[in-house]
Structure 1
Amino acid sequence: MGVTLGDVARAAGVSLATASRALNGSARTVRPELAERVRACAADLGYLPNAPAQALARSTTATVGVLLHDIADPYFAALARGACDAAVAAGLLPLVVNTDGDPATELRGVRLLHSQRVRAVILAGSGWTDPTAAARLDAALAEYRATGGSVAAVTDHGPGYHTVRPANRSGAAELTRALLALGHREFAVIGGPARLLVPGERLAGVRDALAEAGVALPEQAVLNAEFSREGGRRAMAELLDGPLPGGARPTAVLALSDVCGVGALAELRARGVRVPEQVSVAGFDDIPLAEDLSRPLSTVRLPLARLGAEAVRLALGPAEPRTVELPVEVVLRGTTGPPRR
């Protein structure tokens, strides 16, 4: 087997995408010293560039692909809005692919966008906890980047990609501290799907703050749910029907997405449980609906549109991967208050 582009990249100590850009004449530039190192390693190893790859690297279309888990979810809709606006401002046409939160569909989406020779791919959804799914996605993206494409992700997908991430862990910790300051000591968490990385980051932040305060979070008080209104409602019903150890019920419920928080509020209302007098509820994301409820939802505000726009700007900018973390803000509204026994 002959020398591959991957061999050259490893020898030069650069990413596969950088090696491709240096050798294949991509429109995305590489720093001169890096390009020279790559070319020298290629010469030493006897690497022969692939002519079709060179042609594709020089011939991308004026499009940007945006992969979302659920376009109907206000969280992803806001991300898409920011990404699409940034693409149009750069003179590019956005192509949005809805994956339904399915790794296989996302993988097909990446391959389709690759075949369409999009200028950049934006991963606007959480990474996968399943290492096999993550590895397959990485392999497809490596093939795309080797032909001159660029990838940027909202939230972490690995060190090889441009990354824009909100401060999920610290934001969840700050929200928990705010509820602790109100006097809450019995907590429950409506988490997200176990297959996604982001819910784990947020749950870790909750645990950080509770551990600092010496407050226990029983395993029975942490429920996984789909990031949907119905998922939040079912999880809230389970919490109400199954008291915590010792017979206590939580005085504060942290839903790790606003749509879950909306579902939790619906279940509490249906059962006649007063919010926040009997149970405080908080969400995460600050989707527009959170403030428009009859009792506005406390939450962690993420700059959703900015996250999408920043991902596009990174994908169209520097060749070497960069990470940008955007701040978040705790917003306490009408669904949280001091516990009343």
Structure 2
Amino acid sequence: MTQRRARLIDVADAAGVSIAAASRAMSGSTGVSDAIAARVRRVAGEMGYVANVHARTLAGGASTTIGLLVHEIGDPYFTEIAGGVLRLGAQQGLTVQIGHTGRDPDAELTQVRALVANRVRAIVIAGSGFVDAAVQAPVKAELQAFQAGGGRVAVIGRHHLGADAVLPDNHAGGRSLAEHLLALGHRRIAFAVGSRALTTVADRLAGIAEALASAGLDLDDLPVVEEEFTRAGGRRATHAILDAHPDVTAIAALNDDMAIGVLAALRARGVSVPGEVSVSGFDDVPVAEYLWPALTTVRLPMAEMGEQVLELALKPASSRPRRRLTGHSLVVRDSTAAPRG
């Protein structure tokens, strides 16, 4: 059963002040000392209290701000998605407030509460959900309360939030990527991946495992190195792979940011690509075709996904969450080739 949302009177009682004093402290009005105001705000934060102001704002038609939460503000994947949200937002006369969560559920909860407090019209979450539904349960409760008060929510990726969603073609994309490497003749394949707690990673690996099984291989028998879903994570994963498995002929990174790190690590160790090791990524960020060698990857329509998720967020609520599938395409470039010998 969902825990009851903290009310202003609950905060006032816990802080030992009147509800009027608590209201003035939370709004920043005069009439309370700095010490009391600080105590009330501290107690409110501990109780997860957020002033229910968005419904009043929405009722007056005054809100023109959308909240967008991304996992990594520096990842080109999220840059492209944000670009789509910003483009459609501008066409609709909306401003977009962007927050960064670092794939941390606690940071995500904090950011959601801040967006609610800032009276946004809708909240868009771009990025993977978590395999364990319990991880996002606190965020789900906040978003349900936000929607009950008139706000709207839409997400990109597979989440357990009960919201409208744009679903990247992660499973089928993973299968296509593995089928490409297998068709080239690779059997000693290693994988540089983000945390398996993320649904994006789980779904992409599931597609890869499906393709491997069709070729008589088992993903559990191949190197799978979990690291941060970043360029630095890709570098660390590559060094770990080559140290333990120097005979690999291909490294598949489960996003392009990691793949860039893989290429950098191989270059630092004097390993030629694709002569000695083929490298592939996932997402097809704009820089992928300008790398050396140009990166083979799975293309997702990232900017379009940003537009689609905002379109969903601007629609009236429906009785059941809406779903939009993206599709994918495999883009073969110079970073993959048949293994030597």
TM-score strictly above 0.5: yes
Instruction: Give the alignment partner of residue 277 of structure 1, picking from 275, 278, 281.
Output: 275
**In structure 2, what is the equivalent of residue 129 of structure 1?**
131
* Paired residue secondary structure (2:192): strand
Asked if 1:293 corresponds to 2:291, the answer is: yes
* Paired residue secondary structure (2:275): coil
* Paired residue secondary structure (1:164): strand
**Greater RCO, 1 or 2 (C-alpha within 8 Å, sep 6+):** 1
Greater alpha carbon shift after TM alignment, 95-104 vs 321-330 = 95-104
For residues 121 and 233 of structure 1, the distance between their equivalents in structure 2, rounded to whole angstroms, comes to 34
Q: TM-score, normalised by structure 2?
A: 0.80
Greater alpha carbon shift after TM alignment, 211-220 vs 234-243 = 211-220
For residues 294 and 64 of structure 1, the distance between their equivalents in structure 2, rounded to whole angstroms, comes to 38
Structure 1 residue 124, shift from structure 2 partner: 0.7
* Paired residue secondary structure (1:198): helix
Asked if 1:81 corresponds to 2:83, the answer is: yes
* Paired residue secondary structure (1:97): strand
The change in CA–CA distance for 1:95 and 1:272 in structure 2 (over 3 A counts) is: same
The change in CA–CA distance for 1:294 and 1:145 in structure 2 (over 3 A counts) is: same
For residues 222 and 212 of structure 2, the distance between their equivalents in structure 1, rounded to whole angstroms, comes to 16
Structure 1 residue 210, shift from structure 2 partner: 0.3
C-alpha contact 1:187 1:253 (8 A) present in aligned 2: yes
For residues 259 and 218 of structure 1, the distance between their equivalents in structure 2, rounded to whole angstroms, comes to 24
**In structure 2, what is the equivalent of residue 207 of structure 1?**
209
For residues 183 and 144 of structure 1, the distance between their equivalents in structure 2, rounded to whole angstroms, comes to 52
**In structure 2, what is the equivalent of residue 58 of structure 1?**
59
Asked if 1:267 corresponds to 2:265, the answer is: yes
For residues 306 and 293 of structure 1, the distance between their equivalents in structure 2, rounded to whole angstroms, comes to 23
**In structure 1, what is the equivalent of residue 44 of structure 2?**
none
Question: Which stretches in structure 2 are left out of the alignment for 5+ residues?
Answer: 5-51
RMSD of aligned Cα (Å):
2.0
C-alpha contact 2:251 2:279 (8 A) present in aligned 1: yes
For residues 259 and 181 of structure 2, the distance between their equivalents in structure 1, rounded to whole angstroms, comes to 15
Greater alpha carbon shift after TM alignment, 69-78 vs 52-61 = 52-61
C-alpha contact 2:70 2:100 (8 A) present in aligned 1: yes
For residues 172 and 242 of structure 1, the distance between their equivalents in structure 2, rounded to whole angstroms, comes to 24
**In structure 1, what is the equivalent of residue 336 of structure 2?**
336
**In structure 2, what is the equivalent of residue 141 of structure 1?**
143
Structure 1 residue 191, shift from structure 2 partner: 0.9
* Paired residue secondary structure (1:327): coil
For residues 168 and 254 of structure 2, the distance between their equivalents in structure 1, rounded to whole angstroms, comes to 14
Structure 1 residue 177, shift from structure 2 partner: 0.6
The change in CA–CA distance for 1:220 and 1:327 in structure 2 (over 3 A counts) is: closer
Structure 1 residue 80, shift from structure 2 partner: 0.7
Q: TM-score, normalised by structure 1?
A: 0.80
For residues 101 and 128 of structure 1, the distance between their equivalents in structure 2, rounded to whole angstroms, comes to 9
- Kindly, what percent of the aligned residue pairs are identical? 43
Question: Which stretches in structure 1 are left out of the alignment for 5+ residues?
Answer: 5-50
Name the count of aligned residue pairs: 289
* Paired residue secondary structure (2:219): coil
For residues 296 and 258 of structure 1, the distance between their equivalents in structure 2, rounded to whole angstroms, comes to 11
For residues 195 and 85 of structure 2, the distance between their equivalents in structure 1, rounded to whole angstroms, comes to 25
The change in CA–CA distance for 1:215 and 1:120 in structure 2 (over 3 A counts) is: same
For residues 145 and 199 of structure 1, the distance between their equivalents in structure 2, rounded to whole angstroms, comes to 29
